[in-house]
A and B are shown apart, each in its own frame.
Chain A
Amino acid sequence: MPGSGPTYPLATMPPDDPTPTPTHTVGQRLERLDARAKVLGTARYADDLTFPGLLHLKVVFSTQPHARVLAIRTDAARRAPGVRAVLTAKDCPGENLIPLVLPDLTLMAADRVRFVGDPVAAVVADTPEAAHDAARLVEVDYEPLPAVFDVLEALRPGAPVVAPPISGPAGHGGANTAPNLFNLLEVKKGDLAAGFEAADVVVEQEYRTPYQAHAYLETQGMTCVPEPDGVFAVYGCMQCPFYVHEAVARVLGVPRHRVKVIQVGTGGGFGGKEDVPSIIAGLAALGAWHTGRPVKLVLSRKEDFETMSKRHPALVRLKVGAKEDGTLTALEEQLWLDGGAYATLSPVVLYRAVTHAAGPYRWPAVHVTGHAVATNKVPCGAFRGFGTLQVIFALESILDELAERLGIDPLDLRLKNAVRVGDALGTNQALTESVGFIETLERAAEVSGYREKRERYRTWQEGPKRRGVGLGCLLYGVGLGAKGKFIDRTGAHVQLYPDGSCAVSIGNAEMGQGLRTVISQIAAEELGLEFSKVQTFDGDTSRVPDSGPTVASRATVMAGNAVRDACGQIRRELRAEAGLMLGVEPDALEVFQTWVRVKAAPERRVAMNDVIARAAHARRALTASGFRLPADTWWSDDEGQGKAYEVYTYATNVCEVEVDVETGESRVIALTAAHDIGRAINPTLAEGQIEGGALQGLGFALTEEVHIDQGVIKNPRFATYIIPTAMDSPELKAVIVEHPYSGGPYGAKGIGEPPIMGIAPAVTNAIKAATGARLFECPATPERVTEAMKAQGVAARDEVAV
């Protein structure tokens, strides 16, 4: 297989007996483990923690988009009341570096700032107020450098160099070999010229998508506590404890066993707590190193908006062709992602973008060229969807344009070209199982009443309020895929107690999605325990295996499989013990719900509790570690092809919108989202992911954008960065489709990210259906809708042509 990196052996862990159905916990709507603490207000988040002798850190951020740092004058700040330390880049005992894909992100800018918001100094003081006041006394002398804010300008010869060429570790999504180009990736399949030659209709268009801020309700926060044995303990909100672990060790210049990272309650992540928590933790750790005392850093909402990562804005040029009967023939795309000042995760975001650009459709010919570009703006990183919302907006918009030109309903165009088992994606990856895309199309259409509404709204609608329905479809590669497999592994630790209760530790993070609950369900199922007997604990890097990041909708699959591995080992012991109790060979036994029974004679059984008590008494090993690698994937940069991800989640969104054609305001009436997630371990939690992601998607579609002028964010507040309120939430209908994946626990695939994807084009396609006006850029603000109507000659009072 032409992989670009080393190949990895697959973990071999078939469970020793197949899980019987019906399951007693998997697939059940069980209450989350943390529900009670969260409704009582006792759940603890980063800023809720306090420690004796706690100091507070305030960051001094760059006010310049691009400048040489001539001097940082800290004397006045040092003399201010209550100040314990004022720190700059030269105070890093280890490396001034946050390790990500490319080694370019500094903890604090040393000699050059690259964006408004680059940390340049940190003030540590007795109180938050003292730190705040003293931070204002730090003076930085800048020599402004020419700055660049646009992706196309940044790639022109002679443009100001934001990011000089630099190389990263082999295989990690490539290196930026040209100035300001973090990465360039291509996807190539078939004969493009022949594809367009074969087309009866060709549509070509340019699309733009905006920044999106995660707007998690809890801002970034970390406390670093120096412990007496020389260990630095870090507590805070995060998705990736082991990223933080590595960053803190490198910043402090200590071996990794001198650092432990404990993830506490995390008030929303959505990708925004993937990479940047390492910066927050690094700063707190630096403060703790220099003062010998616990140091806390919690960002204000404004600081968080101004300095933390965002979704990449994108420019997409897309050209597609189809035959008269709707058969797709060719797709050509050029994509530019605005990565901002540092590479952070841009190379791998770009990888996901290009590999998803052709969507869940059969294309004989594909050529996608993607660029991740440096500009003097806030760095963009991970955000739910990870580069896909941009390409999906373009693709799903242009498919509707194509459908209109062909005189085919958009649903039929998609059904005609939808991938099935046996087809190949735009990356030429053959799909071998678990492809439920068509069922999502059918179910979403049925539940939403798509065809009836499409027909009803086609005819004349009176008054200024016009309705339309639109589609937005997608696929999503579960897990880190070929460009991320070098860090893709998961471990778990399971301990069964003699009283029949069980503790599970995993290396992945609970951030609201319900991972701990799902893992408890899986462990309970595997060990024949009641759900209430299994507690899954939050991560502590000193006690749980490095399980990679909690991103990419990978945790249920990866951590779930690791837990099954551990439970399988324990179950072998339990069956051996039960064999003695029942007088049969262990192989003749199976775990069924909370019993162990004889396969051939199910009425002969013993309660699992009794088995556990005896097994414990017999000193059997009731503790086990599990470990899993993902199914193998590969990618060839040269060929622009590969098995990019091990399996895909598929989804169809149907949006029904009512547009006030006089004001341009769009009200979403209903949104139906059908997702093939393999198997829902907990349908309530899965629906929660779908509903929440859908509303974030509606924010992206309708109201959310970051206004940046000369590198300065003009709306860094909840009053001006507009996320949906309860009044803006439509009727959300989550539909779960289950095409099981053989490599996932109980058939599960991922669900975290897909719900936000494909919402924006469903909205703008519905707006087009309602008004006749096509938006080539989102969000579809009333200003843009009224402009589009004017520009496209669709008058507010005229009959709407469909």
Chain B
Amino acid sequence: MIGTVQRILRPKSVDELLSTLAELQGPRHLLAGGTDILVKAKDGKVAPGTWIDVWPLDELRGVTAHDDRIDLGANVTMTDVERSPLLRAEARALWDACYEAGAVQIRNRATLGGNVANASPAGDSIPALYSLGATVHLRSVRGERAVPIEALFTGPGKTVIAPDEAIVRLSLPRVRGAVGAFLRLGQRKAQAISKVSAAATATLGADLTVEAARVALGAVAPTVVRAPEVERLLAGRALEPGLMAEAGELAASGVTPITDVRSTKVYRREMVAVVVRRALASLVDRRRG
């Protein structure tokens, strides 16, 4: 930790942030709520450099509903998500993930932009954002670009975000009648890092026919992954128990997780089947209200 923070800059606007990023030489670290980066820094895993505090940038705050999408500022916290009736109604997988993540003190500081930038395969908001088809908006002095969330990650802790870029917002397409769920298994009931997680968001017909579905898995690969084979299996079919079980098995067969201090590869793989099946079952329950 000591020496890691060589200096700390506190830009007053996003424009100032971007020009700072453009001009800076050497390692730089964006600091929002600090719930990930400070832990890493204290563990000696952050290169010494310039830290830039983005927490005060209110431009990056706020949940905004548009006709076709919901915009979430990069500084929206997990608590903001938890307190948003709109997101509970329309982005349930994300709401679930934020409701269960960490604890109050962490949710009050952990931002969506930070959780995404941290790029942990076990980061709880990320599978939810995959399932919701989120787009990540990156801005620099060179302009703004939109990256589908699943194209953002290249490995654990690694993203395509350029050194002069910052996440400014996430946008979620608004899909009428979509239902979602996020499920995870941890080592205890709170303050737990996921051993395995699954998020699913789908539109279901009256007979529970899957019109469209996105399924994503956490903590079973170097990055969060989508399960396209599962999505194909589900497309156009009614969500009944046999299909949900089959989907779970298919998802499990497609992953090659690892053993670490939190769990084993065997367990993780088997549990993918369970959490996927249960997430889908939860969609049915929620569709039925």
Contact = CB atoms under 8 A, between A and B. Distances in A.
A418 B228 CA distance: 61
A715 interface: yes
B82 to A, nearest CB: 16
Contacts of A725: 103, 188-191
Given A662-B274, A719-B193, A782 B188 contact: no
Interface in B13-55: 39
A782 B2 contact: no
A783 B263 contact: yes
B100 to A, nearest CB: 10
A132 interface: yes
Interface in B258-274: 261-264, 266-267, 270-271, 274
B188 A663 contact: no
Interface in A726-744: 726-728
Given A662-B274, A707-B261, A722 B2 contact: no
Contacts of B274: 662-663
Interface string A713-728: 0110001101011111
B242 interface: no
A663 B2 contact: no
Contact of A782 (B39, B103, B267): B267
A200 interface: no
A129 interface: yes
Contacts of A783: 263-264, 266-267
Nearest to A783: B267
What is the size category of the interface that chain B forms with chain A? 20 to 34
A783 B268 CA distance: 9
B285 to A, nearest CB: 14
B185 interface: yes
Contacts of B262: 720
Interface string B243-287: 000000000000000000111101100110010000000000000
A728 B274 CA distance: 22
A126 interface: no
A423 interface: no
A349 B56 CA distance: 55
B154 interface: no
Contacts of A663: 185, 271, 274
A726 B261 contact: no
A665 interface: yes
A724 B188 CA distance: 7
A724 B186 CA distance: 12
B2 A132 contact: yes
Nearest to A785: B267
A722 B188 contact: yes
Contacts of A665: 185
B2 A703 contact: no
Given A132-B2, A133-B3, A786 B187 contact: no
A722 B274 CA distance: 23
A222 to B, nearest CB: 22
A549 B265 CA distance: 45
Nearest to A706: B261
A782 B185 contact: yes
Nearest to B268: A783
B190 A728 contact: yes
Nearest to A718: B191
A428 to B, nearest CB: 43
A714 B261 contact: yes
Nearest to A720: B261
Interface string B180-213: 0000010111111100000000000000000000
Nearest to B261: A715
Contact of A703 (B187, B267, B270): B187
Nearest to B3: A133
Nearest to B185: A663
Contacts of A727: 188-190
B189 A728 contact: yes
A781 B262 CA distance: 10
A786 B274 CA distance: 13
B104 to A, nearest CB: 11
Nearest to B263: A783
Nearest to A127: B2
Contacts of B266: 783
A786 B270 contact: yes
A720 B262 CA distance: 7
Contacts of B187: 703, 722, 781
A720 to B, nearest CB: 5
Contacts of A720: 261-262
A695 to B, nearest CB: 12
B40 to A, nearest CB: 12
A133 B271 CA distance: 44
B148 to A, nearest CB: 30
Interface string A676-691: 0000000000000000
A714 B260 CA distance: 9
A714 B261 CA distance: 7
Nearest to A726: B190
B268 to A, nearest CB: 9
Contact of B188 (A129, A703, A707, A715): A703
B129 to A, nearest CB: 23
A133 B264 CA distance: 37
B276 to A, nearest CB: 12
A714 B259 CA distance: 13
Interface string B89-119: 0000000000000010000000000000000
A129 B3 CA distance: 9
Given A720-B262, A786-B270, A133 B190 contact: no
Nearest to B267: A783
A719 B261 CA distance: 10
Nearest to A719: B193
B110 to A, nearest CB: 14
B18 to A, nearest CB: 33
A659 to B, nearest CB: 14
A783 B266 CA distance: 9
B220 to A, nearest CB: 15
Contacts of A662: 274
A662 B188 CA distance: 16
B264 A129 contact: no
B149 to A, nearest CB: 25
A555 to B, nearest CB: 32
A722 B261 CA distance: 11
Contacts of A722: 187-188, 192
A663 B189 CA distance: 14
A315 B134 CA distance: 51
Contacts of B271: 663
Nearest to B191: A725
Nearest to A713: B261
Nearest to B278: A662
A174 B263 CA distance: 41
A133 B261 contact: no
A662 B249 CA distance: 13
Interface string A659-681: 00011110000000000000000
Contacts of B3: 133
A781 B261 CA distance: 12
Contacts of A129: 2
B41 to A, nearest CB: 14
A720 B271 CA distance: 20
Interface string A770-789: 00000000000111001000
A728 B266 CA distance: 25
11 contacts: A133-B2, A133-B3, A703-B187, A719-B39, A720-B262, A722-B187, A724-B188, A725-B190, A727-B188, A727-B189, A782-B185
Interface of B: 2-3, 39, 103, 185, 187-193, 261-264, 266-267, 270-271, 274
Given A722-B187, A726-B190, A783-B263, 12 more contacts: A133-B2, A133-B3, A663-B185, A663-B274, A720-B262, A722-B192, A725-B103, A727-B189, A727-B190, A728-B190, A786-B267, A786-B270
In the A-B complex, the 8 residue pairs with the closest CB atoms: A727-B189, A727-B190, A783-B267, A725-B190, A722-B187, A715-B261, A129-B2, A662-B274
